[in-house]
Amino acid sequence: MRRLAACALAVAAIALGDDWKLWTPRPEIAPVGSGELVLEGGGNPAVFGGWERLFPDVRPGGWYRLEVRYRASGLDYEPLQVPVRLDWVAQGGGRAGAPDYAWRVTGDGEWRTVTLDAPAPPGAQAVKVQLLLQNAPHGKVQWKDATLTPEAPPPARKVRIAAVRLRPKGADPVERFLATAEAKVNGADVVLFPEGMTMVGTGKSYADVAEALPGPTTARLGEFARSKRAWVVAGVLERDGAAVYNTAVLIDREGKLAGKYRKVYLPREELEGGVTPGAGYPVFQTDFGTIGMMICWDVQYADPARALALRGAELILMPIWGGNEVLARARAIENHLFLVSSGYDFPSMVLDPAGETLARTEEDATIATATIDLGRRYVDPWLGEMRGRFFRELRGDVRTDPPARR
Q: What is the pLDDT of residue 189?
A: 98
| Whether 166 and 216 share a structural domain | yes
Does residue 387 fall inside a structural domain?
A: no
Q: What is the pLDDT of residue 14?
A: 44
Range of the domain at 81: 2-153
Q: What is the pLDDT of residue 8?
A: 34
At 251, which CATH number? 3.60.110.10
Average pLDDT of the segment spanning 215-226: 98
Structurally, how many domains does the chain consist of? 2
Asked if residue 259 has pLDDT above 50, the reply is: yes
Average pLDDT of the segment spanning 237-242: 98
| Whether 103 and 193 share a structural domain | no
| Whether 146 and 7 share a structural domain | yes
What SS3 class is residue 362? Answer: coil
Average pLDDT of the segment spanning 237-257: 98
For 157-194, write each residue's pLDDT tens digit.
999 999 999 999 999 999 999 999 999 999 999 999 99
How many Å apart are CA 309 and CA 337, to the nearest integer?
Answer: 7
Does residue 382 fall inside a structural domain?
A: no
| Whether 187 and 288 share a structural domain | yes
Does residue 217 fall inside a structural domain?
A: yes
Does residue 315 fall inside a structural domain?
A: yes
Q: Which of 241, 219, 205, 50 is nearest to 135 (CA)?
A: 50
Average pLDDT of the segment spanning 182-211: 97
- Using alpha carbons, list the distances in angstroms from residue 280 to 120, 138, 330, 398: 38, 31, 21, 21
Name which of 13-22, 200-209, 341-350, 353-362 the model is least confident about.
Answer: 13-22
Under 8 Å between Cβ of 246 and 196: yes
Asked if residue 5 has pLDDT above 90, the reply is: no
| Whether 130 and 163 share a structural domain | no
- Percent of the chain clearing pLDDT 90 (strictly above): 90
| Whether 329 and 216 share a structural domain | yes
How many Å apart are CA 219 and CA 279, to the nearest integer?
Answer: 25
At 91, which CATH number? 2.60.120.260
Q: What is the pLDDT of residue 48?
A: 98
Q: Which of 376, 375, 374, 379 is nearest to 161 (CA)?
A: 374
- Using alpha carbons, list the distances in angstroms from residue 367 to 191, 194, 211, 246, 250: 10, 12, 27, 23, 19
How many Å apart are CA 281 and CA 173, to the nearest integer?
Answer: 28
Q: What is the pLDDT of residue 399?
A: 85
Residue 315 pairs with which residues in a beta bridge?
291, 338
For 7-58, write each residue's pLDDT tens digit.
333 344 444 445 899 999 999 999 999 988 999 999 999 999 999 999 999 9
Asked if residue 101 has pLDDT above 50, the reply is: yes
| Whether 224 and 342 share a structural domain | yes
| Whether 178 and 231 share a structural domain | yes
Does residue 115 fall inside a structural domain?
A: yes
| Whether 233 and 310 share a structural domain | yes
Does residue 35 fall inside a structural domain?
A: yes
Does residue 392 fall inside a structural domain?
A: no
Domain boundary among 107, 133, 153: 153
DSSP state for residue 345 in the 8-state scheme: B
Q: What is the pLDDT of residue 109?
A: 85
Mean pLDDT of the chain: 94
| Whether 314 and 328 share a structural domain | yes
How many Å apart are CA 93 and CA 9, to the nearest integer?
Answer: 9
Average pLDDT of the segment spanning 222-233: 98
Average pLDDT of the segment spanning 371-382: 94
| Whether 101 and 175 share a structural domain | no
Residue 386 pairs with which residues in a beta bridge?
none
Does residue 260 fall inside a structural domain?
A: yes
Q: Which of 130, 156, 152, 157 is nearest to 61 (CA)?
A: 152
- What does residue 286 show for φ and ψ, rounded to 5 degrees? -115, 180
| Whether 165 and 95 share a structural domain | no
Q: What is the pLDDT of residue 404?
A: 75
C-alpha angle 365/367/373, rounded to 5°? 170
Asked if residue 6 has pLDDT above 70, the reply is: no
Q: What is the pLDDT of residue 403?
A: 80
Average pLDDT of the segment spanning 227-251: 98
How many Å apart are CA 242 and CA 248, to the nearest integer?
Answer: 19
Q: What is the pLDDT of residue 18?
A: 56
Asked if residue 3 has pLDDT above 70, the reply is: no
Amino acid identity of 400? T
DSSP state for residue 131 in the 8-state scheme: E
